């Protein structure tokens, strides 16, 4: 069975995330059981996070792509067991240096990545 990574990104101030017990469900063990290998990223923003923080959301999406490439299996195993700690850049940075996105600034808006399709 192949492993697949997933990342759930949500705005910290999203009404659907803050109220109705959704945050407790996502932070708890139930969500991990339903979605294996999930990483939850609550980023600054509201309901329309993809429009409010396009650059930050783009970074989170690309981190999943980079981290789950077959050639980064060893780094992925280390991450799943221990985590890399620190910021998102510190965790994914070494993978970017040798990967297909080397030299790319992930904090720019997604329209700057049209040549990477």
Dihedral Cα 61, 100, 86, 105, nearest 10 deg:
-80
Instruction: Give pTM, 2 decimals.
Output: 0.49
Q: Where are the beta strands (DSSP E) in the chain?
A: 6-11, 38-43
Q: Tokens standing for 1?
A: 């069975």
Distances (CA, A) of 59 to 1, 16, 28, 77, 108: 28, 23, 25, 21, 9
Q: Tokens standing for 39?
A: 């990483």
Q: How many CB atoms neighbour CB 4 within 10 A? A: 9
pLDDT at 70: 64
pLDDT at 79: 59
pLDDT tier at 35, thresholds 50, 70, 90: confident
Q: Name the burial class of residue 52, with classes exposed (0-12), middle (13-18) and buried (19+) by CB atoms within 10 angstroms of its CB.
A: middle
Report the chain's mean pLDDT, rounded to a whole number: 66
Q: Looking at the predicted structure, is the pLDDT value of residue 71 above 50?
A: yes
Give mean pLDDT, residues 15-35: 81
Q: Which residue has the higher pLDDT, 35 or 70?
A: 35
Q: How many CB atoms neighbour CB 8 within 10 A? A: 13
pLDDT at 109: 42
pLDDT tier at 110, thresholds 50, 70, 90: very low
Least confident of 24-33, 73-82, 100-109: 100-109
């Amino acid at each position: 069975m192949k492993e697949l990574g997933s990342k759930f990104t949500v705005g910290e101030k999203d009404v659907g995330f803050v109220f109705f017990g959704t945050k407790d469900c996502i932070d708890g063990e139930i969500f991990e059981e339903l979605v294996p290998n999930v990483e939850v990223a609550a980023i600054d923003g509201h309901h329309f996070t993809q429009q409010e923080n396009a650059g930050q959301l783009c970074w989170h999406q690309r981190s999943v792509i980079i981290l789950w490439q077959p050639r980064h299996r060893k780094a992925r195993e280390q991450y799943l067991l221990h985590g890399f700690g620190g910021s998102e850049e510190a965790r994914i940075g070494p993978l970017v240096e040798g990967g297909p996105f080397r030299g790319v600034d992930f904090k720019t808006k997604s329209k700057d990545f049209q040549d990477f399709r």
